[in-house]
Amino acid sequence: MLLELNNVSKTFTRDGQEVRAVQQFAHQVEAGQFVAIQGPSGCGKSTLLMICGGLLRPDCGTVRLDGQDLYALSGEGRAGIRAAHIGFVFQQFHLVPYLNVLDNVLTAALGITQSATVSRNLQSRAMALVEQFGLIDRVDHLPAELSTGQRQRVALARALLNRPRLLLADEPTGNLDAEASQVVLDHLQEFAAAEGAVLLVTHDSVAAQRADLLIGMESGCLVDPAVTGGDV
């Protein structure tokens, strides 16, 4: 099993009141599986994704990636796991505004190399991903010179640079039109079909239906999952 969540909970305190963002969440994600978690804004989806990625320690429960308990590791150890095995795709893209397309993709290499320069192999892979995502004619462009769909494709290419085993996608189609959304979802399906694993959180039912397995989430709790068939 690639990703295992066992009774994970997380509570925040806001304005003196406790907010239970995630409550006793338990689920498993296998290699080759595309799982979508669907729920309204504020139901705890993004919090759950941050926990899965080793970015936010849960109050209780365990998160295992390929058998390794993420929160038994030091912060540096979790950072190494993220750099080597986890790719992140966000709604807001988080591209560096003064770097061109190729250099934005290459920022993913900063987590796995101590060198001031990136290896030729990584540079070649970055260029291959730029071409694969249909951005070769935009390779020298800055993010401000790209459409929203192109920016999301750059972000996805960046997430794939280090050949991760798991992609965590937080509302990746939230800022995109229908056509651009389909392109991004196609690439997520392709990644899962090639034995990667995808965990997508979204409030968009169209995006959620592209997954193999759809899980509902309400007020931090899992709702019975359902097989979707992976079609729109």
What separation, in Å, do the N-terminal and C-terminal C-alpha atoms of the chain show? 27
Q: What share of the chain has pLDDT > 90, as a percent?
A: 77
3-class DSSP state of 107: helix
Better pLDDT: 112 or 229: 112
What is the pLDDT confidence band of residue 42, given thresholds at 50, 70 and 90?
A: confident
pLDDT score at 116: 46
Q: What share of the chain has pLDDT > 70, as a percent?
A: 93
pLDDT at 224 over 60: yes
Question: In the predicted model, what is the mean pLDDT of residues 194-201?
Answer: 95
The per-residue pLDDT for range 117-160, each reduced to its tens digit, is 568 888 999 999 999 999 999 999 999 999 999 999 999 999 99
143 CA to centre of own chain? 20
Host domain of residue 210: 3-227
pLDDT at 227 over 80: no
The first and second tokens of residue 36, run together, are 């979508």
Residue 232 belongs to a domain:
no
pLDDT score at 232: 43
What is the pLDDT confidence band of residue 228, given thresholds at 50, 70 and 90?
A: low
Q: How many domains does the chain have?
A: 1
pLDDT at 187 over 80: yes
DSSP annotation of 32: T
pLDDT score at 220: 87
Looking up residue 165, the CATH number of its domain turns out to be 3.40.50.300
Residue 135 belongs to a domain:
yes
The per-residue pLDDT for range 73-102, each reduced to its tens digit, is 999 999 999 999 999 998 889 999 999 999
Task: Let me know how long the chain is.
Answer: 232
The per-residue pLDDT for range 101-125, each reduced to its tens digit, is 999 999 998 766 554 456 888 899 9
pLDDT score at 119: 80
Angle at which helix 148-160 crosses helix 120-132, to 10 degrees, equals 140
Question: Alpha-carbon distance 164 to 138, whole Å?
Answer: 24
pLDDT score at 214: 92
The mean of the pLDDT values for the chain is 91
Residue 40 belongs to a domain:
yes
Sheet holding 86-90, edge to edge: 86-90, 166-170, 197-202, 34-38, 213-218, 221-227
Assessment of whether the complete model's pTM goes beyond 0.85? yes
